[in-house]
Amino acid sequence: MQSNLIVLKPVFTEKTLSQQENGKYAFWVKKDATKGQIESSFEAVFGVKPLNINTVIVKGKMKTDRQKRLPIKKSDLKKAIISVEKNTKIELLKLNLK
């Protein structure tokens, strides 16, 4: 896999934004990616070596189709919580909150 295709996009929730102060960043990653692949991809894209990587598979929700009224299962997603040193900041994820 190409390193820039493993880390898909950052996760922006209240919890993940508060964890950024402690040096923890959350990203949606490919479901079949391993921790080693995530580490090398993160290092190649952001230029920062992660201290720790935790992954969790978020199960997809069941939704109902509006027209046919049939249940539809959304796909499962994999989330990686990547820890870096506290004094290291990733500027691409910083929001301008005023």
How far is 4 from 68, CA to CA, in rounded Å? 38
- Third-level CATH fold of 3-87: Alpha-Beta Plaits (3.30.70)
Q: Is residue 97 predicted with pLDDT exceeding 80?
A: no
pLDDT, tens digit (0-9, with 9 covering 90-100), for 40-71: 999 888 888 999 999 999 999 999 988 888 99
How far is 69 from 51, CA to CA, in rounded Å? 47
Residue with tokens 């046919």: 68
Mean pLDDT (whole number) for 77-93: 86
CB 19 within 8 A of CB 41: no
CB atoms within 10 A of CB 25: 23
Whose CA is closest to 27, among 55, 50, 4?
Answer: 55
What pLDDT is stored for residue 36 in this prediction?
94
Domain boundaries, the chain: 3-87
* Length reported for the chain: 98
Residues 6+ apart with CB under 8 A from 72: 62, 63, 64, 65
